[in-house]
Amino acid sequence: MALEIVVMVKQVPDSQEVVIDPVTMNLNRSLTRNVTNKADENALEAALQLRDEVGGHVTVVSMGPPQAESTMIECLARGADRAILVSDRFFGGADTYPTGLTVASAISKLEKVDVIFAGEESSDSSTGHVGPGVAEFLGMEQATYVSSVKYADGFIIAERELEDGTEVIKMPTPVLLTILLNANVPRRQTLKRKIAATKQGYEVWNLEKLGMPPEWVGVRGSPTIVRKMRPIKEKERAAKRFEIDQIPDLVRELFEIGALKLEEMQ
């Protein structure tokens, strides 16, 4: 049987270049490069592997501003069959609750869904809420922190990486899985596939298309209120060079500035 697979992806600021505006305390996005969330690339790869093995289609769904275009094209170039960007100014400022609701609403518009993949969490907010949220809104079973996925006769067999070992679970579809960062190696994009992806294009779905009340989405639909943010002050650091025979001096100095403490030997 052919599986209808959905992958939830998010475009995030490149975590290596994130700059916090010291005045507004918001992320300064004007100079940061936007990239596809790394764990979502792993989710897409897991979905593509499953499709290639079992057959079916992979549809990528993302919520974000128009510049998420590059992520949509990238997912198509890696091998997705269809890409939908859920985008509307009404969706702006959403916390994880309306984000999950909006993405779930978009997925519910698809004809049939057997498996939904999501990254374990996004690198910019690291909540890990949205994947499980979507499963709840859609009334679907879910498994989080999945490292590998197999399918057989209407069941997903997933391995979950837990603190004390690996858990193997078997669940009937439909099911939502969140995939661990670095669970696999995402396939490369090639020029040929990227040209095809650019020509194929992606769909943009707005609020009207989803038919949701505006007060359910975006900042109005968000129960989170951020009261205050403050930057973490960087500690002053210093470097000093000690030769091997000066280690006693090093120990003394560390002791004097309070970095080392004397403890009774037991």
Partner 1 sequence: MSDFDFIVVGAGPAGSSAAIRLATAGSSVLLVERADPPGSKAVSGGILWGRDLDGLIPDWEKSAPVERYIDFKSTSFLTRDSKISIDFRSKKFEEKKTGYSVLRAKLDQFLALKAKAAGATLVTGITVDSLARKENRIVGVVQDGDTITSDAVILAEGANPRVAIESGLREPLRDRDCAIGIKQIVKLSEATVNERFNLTGNSGYAGEFALGYLEGGVRAGGFLYTNKDSLSIGVVIAMENLRANGSTYSYDIMEKFMEHPYVKPLVEGGRVQEYSAHLVPEGGIDSMPKLFGDGYLIAGDSASMTFSNGMIIQGMNYAIASGAMAADSLLEAAKKKDFSGAALSSYQDRLEHSQVLMDLRKFRGIDKVTWSRLVHEVAPGMMENILFSMFYEDGNPKKHLAEIILGSLSKANMKRSELIMETYRMLRRM
Contact between 195 and partner 1 per CB under 8 A: yes
Q: How far is the CB of 70 from partner 1 (least distance, A)?
A: 7
Q: Is the CB of 63 or the CB of 73 nearer to partner 1?
A: 73
The answer to whether 257 touches 235, Cβ cutoff 8 Å, is: no
Which residues make Cβ contacts (< 8 Å) with residue 263, sequence separation at least 6?
Answer: none
- With CB under 8 A as the contact rule, the residue among 15, 108, 182, 190 that binds partner 1 is 190
- For partner 1 (CB under 8 A), the number of binding residues is 14
Nearer to partner 1, 16 or 126 (CB): 16
Q: Shortest approach of partner 1 to residue 192 CB, angstroms?
A: 4
Nearer to partner 1, 129 or 194 (CB): 194
Between 4 and 74, CB nearer to partner 1: 74
Among 165-173, 182-190, 203-211, 231-239, the segment contacting partner 1 (CB under 8 A)? 182-190
Which C-beta is closer to partner 1: that of 199 or that of 235?
Answer: 199
- 70 or 166: CB nearest partner 1: 70
Is residue 246 at the binding interface for partner 1, with CB under 8 A as the rule?
Answer: no
Task: Tell me how far, at minimum, the Cβ of 7 lies from partner 1, in Å.
Answer: 19
Which stretch, 154-162, 166-174, 191-199, 227-235, contacts partner 1 (CB under 8 A)?
Answer: 191-199
Chosen residue from 24, 111, 153, 188 binding partner 1 by CB under 8 A: 188
Kindly state whether residue 41 participates in binding partner 1, applying the rule CB under 8 A: no
In sequence order, which residues have a C-beta less than 8 Å from that of residue 42 and are 6 or more positions away? 119, 179, 180, 181, 182, 183, 184, 186
- Check residue 20 for interaction with partner 1 (CB under 8 A): no
CA–CA separation, 183 vs 116, rounded Å?
A: 16
Site for partner 1 in 73-112 (CB under 8 A): 74
Strand partners, 141: 175
Q: Which residues are at the interface with partner 1 (CB under 8 A)?
A: 19, 31, 33, 70, 74, 188-192, 194-195, 198-199
